[in-house]
Chain A
C-alpha cells in the first residue's frame, strides 16, 4: 500500500538551526547582516560544523542605529564580509535535503525569501520546524492535562530557554542564537513527546 502519510523518525533528518541578524524588522528595506547555522544530526548538536558569517550589505541598505547597538556591529566589520548571494549559496548548500530549524519563522523565512529573490536565487522551500510552534504545542499539552493551568507561555527565545531549564546564553549573536534554538528544540521535542518529523511540524 502506498504510505501517503508516513513520516520519518524525528532524529533521522538533519536539522539546520539558523538565525539571522537583520538591520531591522522591515523585510523590504532592512538588510541581513549576519547568519549563524548549526546542524542537529541523530539528535546531537554538532558545534564543529557550525557556520557563521557576517554579510556585506547591498549598497543603499542602511543599518538602523538601534540594531547596531543590539548586535554590537559596526559598518566597518560588514564591508569586509562576503556579499549576500555568496552567503545564501552557502546556506542553501547546507539545507539540501535537511530541515530548516528556526525560532519564529515569521521573521527568518521572509528575510530568506526576500534575500534569495534579490540575489536571483531560487528559494527551494525546505521543510521548516519552528521552536515557537513547539512552545505552543507544549503549552496546549499542559493545558489539556491541567485545564486551569498557566497563562500563555513566553515565546521569547531567552525566556523560553529559562522556562525549560536551559542556561543563559548571550543573545543577539547569530551563531549563539542558532545553538540556543537547537538546544531548545531538543528539550521541547522531548516535552511534547514527538516521535516523527510530522509531530514537530
Chain B
C-alpha cells in the first residue's frame, strides 16, 4: 500500500471509491480517526450499537457471535453497518490487533445510503454476513506467496523474561509489549502464552506471585526462518499450538502466531480448520465442500503441489469427521464399547483434493457385539451429515452404515480376501487395504497384522497386480489431437499408479497408505529401481496437478469436475509432458507384469 493519507485511503476503499465527488466531499468533512489497542471491545451484543461506519487502516477486528468468529476484518475492510442498518448490536466486535481506523458518523452514513451503488454494497451482502454457517462465510481475496519464508511474517523481535520471573511479571511485560506470548530464558528456552494464563493459572486457582516455571512450556516447537509458510501451517496444525518461535542460525528472531498465518491467508488451511472446529451444529454443514474447493483453488494458485494440498484437505476432513461424531455421541450417548471410524480409498490414502464419494466403515470392539444397533445409528447419522457437508453417498455402497462390524468380523473378512484372491475379493481388498483410522480409540493392529502377512502370499499379490494392470494408459499412437482424442486422467493415468503402488507397498510390508509413500517404501526395499521410481513419482504428481487444474476450471464455470481431458484443450508443452508421463507409467507396468508373471 502506498503512503496514502487518511482521505486518499478512504477514497480508494470500496464502496467509497465509487461515490460521486460531492457526496464524498461531504463525507470527508465528517471523517474521524480512532485508535483502539488490542483487546478493546468495540461493541457487545444487546448493548449500545455502533454509531459510526469504520474503515480499517491498520489492525484486525474480529466479529463474533456466541463466541464463534464470524469474520476477521483487516486493512481496507469496512464494519459497523449492521449496527447502523438495524439500530441494534447484533455482533460482538473485538479489536484483535491494535486498530487505527477512519470513521464517519451515522447520519452521514444515512446520507451516503441515498447513493444506490453505495447502498447496494451493504444491503446485498447483509443476510449472508449475518449468517454464521460455512455456506455464507465470506470469501476473502487470497494474497499469499506460499513459498515465502516464515521469516517474512516476523514483525518484531521476540520478547523475553527471566527464568526467575513470576506469572505477574510475565503478564505485565506481555501487556506492555502488546504480545500474546513471551519467551523464558534458560539453558533450554521456554514459552508462555496468554492461553497458559487461562488454562494453567486461572483454571488452577494460581495467582500472580506464582513462579513462571510452573506454567512454562519447555522445550517448545520452533521453526527455521527459511521454512515456507505452507510448511509452518502444517507444523501449527500437527502440534496444535498457536505460537511458533522462528529460529535463524540458532537464534530466535521472533514469534509468529496462528493469527499471523490466518491473516496471511483467509482461506488457508488454518482458517478453515478453525471454522470447522467451531461449527455449532449440523445445520452449518452445507457449504463445507465449497469452502474446501476455494481453499484448494487458492493453494494451487499459490504454487503448492497437489500432494501437499491433499494432505491439508485430509486434515480438514478428519477434523470435520471428529466434529460430526462428537455430535452423534451427544445425541446417542457415549459408545458402549470402543470403536474406530475408518476412511477407505482416497480418503484413507490422504489423496483427496476435491471432495468425492464417501468411503468409510466402522469397526467396533467385540464387547459391543450386543449393541450393534448403536453403531448402525452412529453410522447413519455420520453418513447423513457427511452428505450434507458435500461428500456424496457412495454409489458402490462403501459407507459405514453398510459396513459396520466387530473387529473379529473384520479380521475374518481381511483374512478371507488374502486367502482367496478372486477378482471380486481383490477389488474389495483394494479399497479396504487403504483403511486409515480417523476417529475412535479401538486398536486396529489385528487388521494390520493380516496385511503384514501379504509379502508371503504370492497368489494374492499376483491377483492384485493382475487387477491393477487392467487399468492402463492408452496406446501413445492413439493420442492425436486431430482425432479428437480424449484421455481419462483417472482411469488411464492416476489409477494405474495408485493400484500398482498399493501392490508394491503391500509386497514389501509397508504400513503406508499414501501412494507416494508406498512407492518410496518399495524403492527403499529394492523392489523398484531409483530411476523408475523417480519417473513414476514425477508422473503421478504431474497427473494430479493437471487433473486438479482442469477440475477447478470446470467448477469455476459451474460444471461438475471431470477426469476427462481432451487433447485439443491442452497446450503443446502439456501434451508432450503428458506423453512422457504415460510412457513412464506403461514401462513400469511392463516390468511389474514380467515380475509377477501376469500377462
Measured CB to CB, the residues of A under 8 A from B are: 43-48, 141-142, 145-146, 165-170, 173, 176, 179, 182-183, 186-187, 190-191
Q: Provide the residues of chain A in CB contact with B57, threshold 8 Å.
A: 167
- Shortest Cβ distance from B52 into chain A, in angstroms? 10
Cβ contacts under 8 Å, A142 to chain B = 176-177
| Contact A141/B7 with A44-B34, A47-B32, A48-B29 known, Cβ cut-off 8 Å | no
B6-53 with Cβ < 8 A to chain A: 6-7, 28-35, 37
Is B173 an interface residue when CB atoms closer than 8 A count as contact? yes
Pick from B1, B5, B31 the residue with the most CB of A within 10 Å.
B5
Other-chain residue from A47, A146, A190 in contact with B33 (beta carbon distance below 8 A): A47
Would you give the 0/1 interface string for B162-177, flagging 1 where the beta carbon is closer than 8 Å to chain A? 0000000000110011
**What is B's interface to A at a CB cutoff of 8 Å?**
1, 3-7, 28-35, 37, 57-59, 98, 100, 102, 160, 172-173, 176-177
**A183–B32 CA distance with the chains assembled, in angstroms:** 11
Tell me whether A45 and B33 are in contact in the complex, defined as CB-CB below 8 angstroms, given that A142-B176, A165-B58, A187-B98 are known contacts: yes
**Quick one: which of B1, B28, B31, B35 contacts A187, CB cutoff 8 A?**
B35
Closest chain-B Cβ to A116's Cβ sits at a distance in Å of 29
User: Closest CB of chain A to B494's CB: distance in Å?
Assistant: 48
A44 touches B32 (CB 8 A): yes
Q: List 6 A-B contacts (CB under 8 A).
A: A47-B7, A47-B31, A146-B160, A167-B1, A167-B4, A167-B100
Give every chain A residue within 8 A of B98 (Cβ-Cβ).
165, 187
Contact at A183–B33, with CB atoms within 8 Å?
yes
Say whether, besides A169-B3, A170-B5, A45 and B32 are in contact (CB < 8 Å).
yes
Q: State the CA gap A183–B102 with chains docked (Å).
A: 11
- Whether the Cβ atoms of A141 and B176 lie closer than 8 Å is yes
With a cutoff of 8 Å between Cβ atoms, the chain B residues found around residue A173 in the complex are 5
Flag if B33 contacts A182 (CB, 8 Å): yes
Residues A145 and B176 in contact, CB atoms below 8 Å apart = yes
Q: CB distance A48 to B3 under 8 Å?
A: no
Nearest 6 CB-CB pairings of A with B = A45-B33, A186-B35, A168-B3, A47-B31, A48-B29, A170-B3
Known: A165-B98, A168-B3. A46 touches B176 (CB 8 A): no
Residues of B within 8 Å of A166, CB to CB, are 58, 100
Are A145 and B172 in touch, CB under 8 angstroms? yes
Extra inter-chain contacts (15) besides given A44-B32, A146-B160, A168-B3, CB under 8 Å: A43-B34, A46-B32, A47-B31, A47-B102, A141-B176, A145-B172, A165-B58, A167-B1, A167-B57, A169-B5, A179-B5, A179-B6, A186-B33, A186-B35, A187-B35
Are A48 and B58 in contact, with the CB atoms below 8 A?
A: no
Residues of chain A within 8 A of B4, CB atoms compared: 167, 169-170
- Distance A6 CA – B160 CA, assembled complex (angstroms): 37
Smallest Cβ distance from B148 to chain A, in angstroms? 21
Given the known A-B contacts A179-B5, A186-B35, are A47 and B28 also in contact in the complex, defined by CB atoms under 8 Å?
Answer: yes
> Which of B33, B59, B102 has the most chain A CB within a 10 Å cutoff?
B33
For B37, give the chain A residue with the smallest CB separation: A190
In chain B, what residue has the closest Cβ to A192? B176
Q: Which residue of A lies closest to B3 (CB)?
A: A168
Contact of A167 among B7, B58, B172 (CB under 8 A): B58
**Residues in chain A near residue B102, CB distance under 8 A:** 47
Given contacts A47-B7, A48-B29, A170-B5, contact A190 B176 (CB under 8 A): no
The complex places the Cα of A166 from the Cα of B35 at a distance, in Å, of: 10
